[in-house]
Chain A
């Protein structure tokens, strides 16, 4: 082990420049600031003050003094187990977004792997401590060493996936390694063999059966997790499932075992140094964090395993709609936490990787799904019915449409694995892209010469399939805006209003598609009811909250245009109109008309929506094994409807309603407020 305290980064031939700086400063006026051309705010902010404890991570205060670390200090088997568990907690916290320096690197063995190497341990070191059969050296040189190597290699494998650029460094995860090795140069198989060696040693050791079991389970869990991380694309669903189920069994067993916590004077208590960053080459000041309690760390690991298993099921279901449903449910459901960045990256890699979609399918598969999952016929059958004339422009259009469907379908599916704000910004782009597909379909129509009414119906409906994708994107922009609390009270009414108009247009498309008797029919019916319920609820919210719009019209209009920048992009001007247009002028007349209708009842609207959601009971559509999740989601929405049925029963009563009863903060549903007393 090199001595880190002496090994200064950059070598030791430093020169003192204080005098030079002082001389240069003499030439400056008081208050003068020297700046270079490209000196940016970030540069200014990245300076730090030596001796300011919150910035100067190298500073050691009195209370932080600790004895020097001895990697070979003997440990009891259960102390080793405790360390291995906490090492999992470190790894999970890194997966949750903390830096390696705050987590994995705090495990000091990480920096002393060479000292643990049995080949390098000298006789002198061997006899430094009196022999103790309860604390054999191999617990460190074999078990700990293999575990730490596997931990680092696991991080390396995850790092490789994370750094593909599908999730964002600093935002979704932290890639900074602070010049500490993650065993990049050592093969994963070698590390796995070390773990196997440790398992073998354990088997023949003289430890108690109980200790052997405890250590065995942890080594095996570490190995299984590493094997999962080691899987390469295209992922084998069989392996994914087998390994994640194995890992889950081990995890359950470990969680049921009770470990003796190390005493405060045990060497195990000094194995993690939260202040390790002061000895590493760190870019940013590192905040000291508390690692989560072990139960929470296991929950994190369990979610990682769920994610792998879910992926294996998704690979069973080559159906765009199923992926879509599973992805949306994860985002929409308040009880689901967002997946760790690693899984979100991996899912995206599975959706599209080096020319393959969903693992092993050719990109044209997306085009197949596009038609199969809407009008219910294969692409080949579709083409044979719409009869495109043999004309070079028509063939170009056809090819262009195919390419774009492939590209945008994969992009849509990948976006469900973005972090929610990024996903929302993606849909702003996507709604334009799908509108371009719609426009290309319109251009293709004159070249179609169907010979029967069925063919004609397909020609008529094809642009609408693209429009449904656009409207789904637009809907997600607004729903995620609600979910992310982007709308102030002033704006929320307009958001519900525009959402209801988008849903209206979407429902028209679905009606058109329901004319086709297809296997997609059940899914379309589910969509029809769900979106109708949502539409009715949005209108009712609009009616209820209308009176809180009090800003002057000019400010409302400015904010509306900015808010809907995505729908006002100049590119739309060259295309057929993208209905419903974002036209604020229609807002006031439409809402006032609704409110002046004596028959209109917000409370009744919520009752109606509840009925529609209830009627979805038992329908599965394309939800596959997510049918249960979807049902739970609809039930959650129905429960909000029940609550909101206590809203005014007539438009006349709306005026007297106290808007402070709508509870937005910590609400149960991401899209609608709760109703307080």
Chain B
């Protein structure tokens, strides 16, 4: 393991997907289908970051997020996936990944950031709490295996988009990387349900 500083890079495209999947899959009992990853990565590539031990190796950490208007009133960020390889934990990689995504979300006017995590994932809970998140509610039997989850939320005060975080974010960042054409929309009649977040509770 090298002691050189970790390199953080924004998601650059489909070639990163394999690594992201293997990092995330490792921690899940039920795998996500590839479309779950694409759902986020194609729409919010700028909110996904990877951590590399050096320029030439595979990534050892990843974060995948989205950002959209919640009930048309609140600008809400959502952390969908966060994972750091076992051998690389406890050295600040996850918190740096979260801060990176958060900084971009702030530039896009985020008002709150939410996520769900298993009620007994103490590593994730302390990580997010050290960043100011609170456990807003418990979600009863949220997972397929019958486990409860916590809904975590970070309230972002207005005006924090100009606040420089303690990490150097190159600024200004274009709202979206240029290589990305927006996903094509095909109009079809609306579905009878609307569930754009894993939990509508």
**Which residues of chain B in 158-201 are interfacial with respect to chain A, using CB atoms and an 8 Å cutoff?**
181, 183-188, 190-191, 194-198, 201
A35 with B184, Cβ < 8 A, contacts A40-B196, A486-B138, A488-B135 known: yes
Q: Are B157 and A558 in contact (CB under 8 A)?
A: yes
Does B88 sit at the interface, judged by CB under 8 A? no
Q: In the bound complex, how far is the Cα of B160 from the Cα of A334, in angstroms?
A: 43
Cross-interface CB contact of A42 among B38, B144, B183, B195, cutoff 8 Å: B195
What residues make up the interface of B, taking CB atoms closer than 8 Å to A? Answer: 13-14, 30-36, 38-39, 42, 66, 119, 125, 129, 132, 134-142, 144-146, 148, 150, 153, 155, 157, 181, 183-188, 190-191, 194-198, 201
Would you list 29 pairs from A and B whose C-beta atoms are within 8 A, ordered by A residue?
A: A31-B13, A31-B14, A32-B183, A33-B183, A34-B184, A35-B183, A37-B186, A37-B188, A38-B188, A39-B39, A40-B195, A41-B36, A41-B195, A42-B196, A44-B38, A44-B39, A45-B39, A48-B33, A49-B34, A421-B148, A484-B138, A485-B138, A486-B138, A487-B135, A558-B155, A558-B157, A559-B155, A563-B134, A563-B136
Cβ contacts under 8 Å, A33 to chain B = 38, 42, 183-184
Known: A37-B188, A97-B146. A421 touches B195 (CB 8 A): no
Known contacts A34-B186, A562-B134: A45-B140 contact under CB 8 Å: no
In the complex, which residues 279-305 of chain A have their Cβ closer than 8 Å to any Cβ of chain B?
284-285, 287
Query: Smallest Cβ distance from B154 to chain A, in angstroms?
Result: 9
Chain B CB within 10 Å, residue with most, of A32, A284, A485, A551: A485
Interface presence of A238 (CB below 8 A): no
Interface string of A40-80 (1 = CB under 8 A from B): 11111101110010110000000000000000000000000
When distances are taken between beta carbons in the complex, the residues of chain B under 8 Å from A52 are: 31
Query: With A49-B33, A421-B140 in contact, is A559–B134 under 8 Å at CB?
Result: yes
Q: Is A419 an interface residue (CB 8 A)?
A: yes
Q: List 5 tightest A-B contacts by C-beta distance, closest first.
A: A44-B39, A419-B140, A44-B35, A421-B138, A42-B195
A325 to chain B, nearest CB (A): 24
C-alpha spacing A561/B146, complex, angstroms? 31
Q: Given A52-B31, A97-B146: A172 and B140 within 8 A (CB)?
A: yes
A31 to chain B, nearest CB (A): 5
Docked pose: A285 CA to B32 CA in angstroms: 12
- CB contact between B140 and one of A42, A420, A485, A558 (< 8 Å): that residue: A420
In the complex the two chains form, what is the Cα distance from A52 to B119 in whole Å?
A: 28
List residues 248-285 of chain A with CB under 8 A from any CB of chain B: 284-285
Query: Given A40-B196, A421-B139, A485-B135: A30 and B14 within 8 A (CB)?
Result: yes
Q: Is the CB of A424 within 8 A of B137?
A: yes
* The one of A34, A45, A172, A558 that contacts B36, using a Cβ cutoff of 8 Å: A45
Nearest-neighbour CB distance to chain A for B132, whole angstroms, equals 5
**With contact pairs A37-B186, A38-B188, A488-B129 given, residues A287 and B144 touching in the complex (Cβ less than 8 Å):** yes
Known: A37-B190, A490-B129. A97 touches B141 (CB 8 A): yes
Q: How many angstroms between the C-alpha atoms of A98 and B144 in the bound complex?
A: 9
> Which has the most chain A C-beta neighbours within 10 Å: B33, B145, B183?
B33
Query: A41 contacts B153, CB within 8 Å?
Result: no
> Nearest-CB distance from B81 to chain A (Å)?
12
Q: How far is the CA of A29 from the CA of B30 in the complex (A)?
A: 30
Using CB atoms and an 8 Å cutoff, list the residues of chain A in contact with chain B.
29-45, 47-49, 52, 54-55, 97-98, 171-172, 284-285, 287, 419-422, 424-425, 484-488, 490-491, 551, 554-555, 558-559, 561-563
Contact of B132 among A38, A54, A555 (CB under 8 A): A555
Complex contact B196–A41 (CB within 8 A): yes
Residues of B with C-beta under 8 A to A558? 132, 155, 157
- Chain B residues whose CB sits within 8 angstroms of the CB of A486 once the complex forms: 134-138, 150
Give Cα A485 to B126, complex, Å: 13
CA distance A31 to B181 in the complex (A): 10
Distance between Cα atoms of A45 and B33 in the complex (Å): 6
CA distance A39 to B142 in the complex (A): 22
Residue numbers in A under 8 Å from B185 (CB-CB) = 35-37
B186 touches A44 (CB 8 A): no
- Kindly state the separation between the CA atoms of A30 and B197 in the bound complex, as whole angstroms: 27
Q: Which residues of A contact B139 (CB under 8 A)?
A: 421
Contacts of A422 in B (CB 8 A): 140
The chain B residue with its CB closest to the CB of A563 is: B134
For the A-B complex, the count of residue pairs with Cβ-Cβ distances under 8 Å equals 130
Partner of A485, one of B35, B119, B196: B119
**Complex Cα–Cα for A36 and B187 (A):** 6
Which of B119, B188, B191 counts the most A-chain CB atoms under 10 A from its CB?
B191
Given A35-B186, A284-B144, A555-B132, 11 new contacts (CB under 8 A): A34-B183, A41-B66, A41-B198, A45-B33, A45-B198, A171-B141, A171-B142, A287-B30, A486-B136, A488-B129, A558-B155
Write out the residue numbers on chain B whose beta carbons fall within 8 Å of the beta carbon of A421: 137-140, 148
Contacts A31-B14, A287-B30 hold; do A41 and B39 have CB atoms under 8 A apart?
yes
Given contacts A35-B183, A97-B146, contact A285 B30 (CB under 8 A): yes
A562 touching B136 by the CB < 8 A rule?
yes
Measured CB to CB, the nearest residue on chain A to B31 is: A54
- Indicate if the CB atoms of A44 and B30 lie closer than 8 Å: no
A171 to B14, CA, bound (A): 35
- A287 CA / B144 CA spacing, docked (Å): 8
Q: In the complex, what distance in Å separates the CA atom of A41 from the CA atom of B38? A: 10
User: Residue on B with the closest CB to A561?
Assistant: B155
A563 proximity list for chain B (CB < 8 A): 134, 136
Check if A38 sits within 8 Å of B186, measured CB to CB. Answer: no
A87 nearest CB across to chain B (Å): 21
From B38, B132, B187, name the one whose CB has the most chain A CB atoms within 10 angstroms.
B132
| Residues in A whose Cβ lies below 8 Å from that of B146 | 97-98
Q: Separation in Å of the B12 CB from the closest CB of chain A?
A: 11
Q: How far is the CA of A48 from the CA of B132 in the complex (A)?
A: 36
| Chain A residue at minimal CB-CB distance from B129 | A488
CB distance from B77 to the nearest CB of A (A): 14
Q: Which residues of B contact A40 (CB under 8 A)?
A: 191, 194-196
A559 and B137 CA atoms in complex are apart in Å by 13
| Complex: A421 Cα to B151 Cα, angstroms | 11
CA distance A306 to B73 in the complex (A): 47
Contact B33 A44 (CB under 8 A): yes
A171: which B residues are within 8 A, CB to CB? 140-142, 201
Q: Which residues of B contact A30 (CB under 8 A)?
A: 14
Q: Which residue on chain A has the smallest CB distance to residue B131?
A: A555
**Chain A: minimal CB distance from B108 (Å):** 19
A37-B190, A486-B135 given; A54·B30 CB < 8 A: yes
Q: How far is the CA of A422 from the CA of B201 in the complex (A)?
A: 10
Least CB distance from B165 to A in Å reads: 14
Which single residue of chain B is at the shortest CB-CB distance from A28?
Answer: B184
Q: When A47-B35, A559-B132 are in contact, do A41 and B197 touch as well, CB less than 8 Å? A: yes
Are B184 and A287 closer than 8 Å at their CB atoms?
Answer: no
Given contacts A41-B39, A490-B129, whether A55 and B186 have CB atoms under 8 Å apart is no
Residues of B within 8 A of A420 (CB): 138, 140
Bound-complex Cα distance A41 to B153 (A): 19
Cβ-closest chain B residue relative to A42: B195
* A29 CA to B42 CA, complexed, in Å: 13
CA distance A103 to B29 in the complex (A): 20
In-complex Cβ contact of B188 among A36, A284, A490, A491 (8 A): A36
Asked if B134 and A47 sit within 8 Å, CB to CB, the answer is no
Cα distance A39–B190 when bound, in Å? 9
* Residues of chain A within 8 A of B198, CB atoms compared: 41-42, 45
With both chains docked as a complex, state the minimum distance between the C-beta of A319 and any C-beta of chain B, in angstroms. 29
- In the docked arrangement, what's the CA distance between A199 and B185, Å? 64
